Amino acid sequence: MRNLFNILCLLLLAAITLTGCYSNRQIGLLQERKGIPTYDSVPYEPYRLHINDEIVYRLITMDETISKAIAADQQYTTQYATSYRIYSDGTVDIPFLPPIHLEGLTEKEAQDTLQAAFRQIIPDADVKLSLYNKYFTVLGDLGSGQYKIYKERMTIFQALAMTGDVANRGDRKHVRIVRPNGNEPPEVLEFDIRAKSIIDSKYYYIYPNDLIYVSREPGAFYKVPSYSGFIGLVTSSLALLVSVLNYMPIDF
């Protein structure tokens, strides 16, 4: 029986040794310590329209006849405006206008281009344009779903706040962003989100159509979320050991 007692003690010791909990070094943000990568700062680049992006616009003019014609074409259905897709040749078809090339332009440049085209036929035309598919997607250990980019220069931290943050078991060392690149293969950006130097780096801002993916950390199965959980595991293991010993005669 002494051997059985020793085996049970060894199993309990192994469970305590293998099981850990998450520390600030593992999950804390904005760290600058040794072992955390350093990323270079880069200037912010505004989003440029890609093939298959969709735009919406509003035309403002004092010409009532044209206003009514445009309003009749831009019918609203279930609170969503009519959107116009950028085709594979980079152009978009807008009623009353020839095809207009918008691929590669920022929203402001596309708005100015569309306004200039309308002013060829409507001298006082004023155009307001925005991107219709202004969303990002998340997968993995930060949940799953699609979220709206509600402002320009939205950061990775703001995106995570919308999704509920990365779970403790998520691998913060290898966060990935899959970013579409027009007709080219998508770009995959991988980074350690714990680094303070991520601010103003190429990983800092979220763009429309980004996919943010966080995998599960290796060894997460053996960790508990907090110290209280760790203590609970130890005490429950000890209680189990005591219960076993009470029902088994052990000859010392």
* DSSP symbols for 36-74: S-----------B--TT-EEEEEEE-S-HHHHHHHHHHS
C-alpha closest to that of 55 among 2, 132, 151? 132
**100 versus 230: which is more confidently predicted?**
100
Query: Phi and psi dihedrals of 196, rounded to 5?
Result: -65, -30
Number of domains into which the chain is organized: 2
Chain segment 142-151, per-residue pLDDT in tens: 788 999 999 9
pLDDT for 149: 96
Q: What angle do CA 157, 162, 168 make, to 5 degrees?
A: 70
- Of 131, 161, 185, the residue that ends a domain is 131
Q: Rounded to an integer, what distance in angstroms lies between the CA atom of residue 240 and that of residue 234?
A: 10
State both tokens at 90: 């980079």
Do the domain assignments include residue 42?
yes
**pTM of the predicted model over 0.85:** no
Kind and range of the H or E element at 177? strand 175-181
Do the domain assignments include residue 159?
yes
Same domain, 40 and 159: yes
Same domain, 31 and 144: yes
Cβ contact 233:78 at 8 Å: no
Cβ contact 111:186 at 8 Å: no
Same domain, 216 and 140: yes
Pairing of strands 135-140, 211-214: parallel
Look at residue 220 and tell me whether its pLDDT is greater than 50: no
Same domain, 155 and 102: no
> 81: domain CATH number?
3.30.1950.10
Chain segment 154-192, per-residue pLDDT in tens: 999 999 989 887 877 889 999 999 999 877 889 999 999
Look at the block and give the residue holding tokens 């003690």: 9
Do the domain assignments include residue 235?
no
For residues 204-212, average pLDDT: 96
Where residue 137 falls among pLDDT bands split at 50, 70, 90?
Answer: very high
Look at residue 132 and tell me whether its pLDDT is greater than 90: yes
For residues 202-222, average pLDDT: 84
The residue range of the domain holding 104 is 54-131
State both tokens at 34: 């040794």
Look at residue 77 and tell me whether its pLDDT is greater than 50: no
Chain segment 3-46, per-residue pLDDT in tens: 555 555 555 454 544 445 657 777 788 899 898 999 999 999 99
Look at the block and give the residue holding tokens 């020839």: 98
Same domain, 154 and 36: yes
Same domain, 75 and 150: no
C-alpha closest to that of 133 among 115, 153, 148? 148
Residue 6: CB atoms within 10 Å = 10
Crossing angle, helix 2-18 and helix 227-247, to 10 degrees?
A: 170
> 35: domain CATH number?
3.10.560.10
Same domain, 29 and 58: no
pLDDT for 227: 47
Q: Rounded to an integer, what distance in angstroms lies between the CA atom of residue 49 and that of residue 109?
A: 10
Do the domain assignments include residue 82?
yes
Q: Rounded to an integer, what distance in angstroms lies between the CA atom of residue 38 and that of residue 201?
A: 10
Measured on CA atoms in the order 105, 106, 107, 112, is the torsion positive or negative?
A: negative
Same domain, 149 and 107: no
**Does residue 216 sit in helix, strand or coil?**
strand
Alpha helix (H) residue ranges in 101-217: 107-118, 156-163
Q: Rounded to an integer, what distance in angstroms lies between the CA atom of residue 75 and that of residue 249?
A: 83
Q: Which residues pair with 143 in a beta bridge?
A: 141
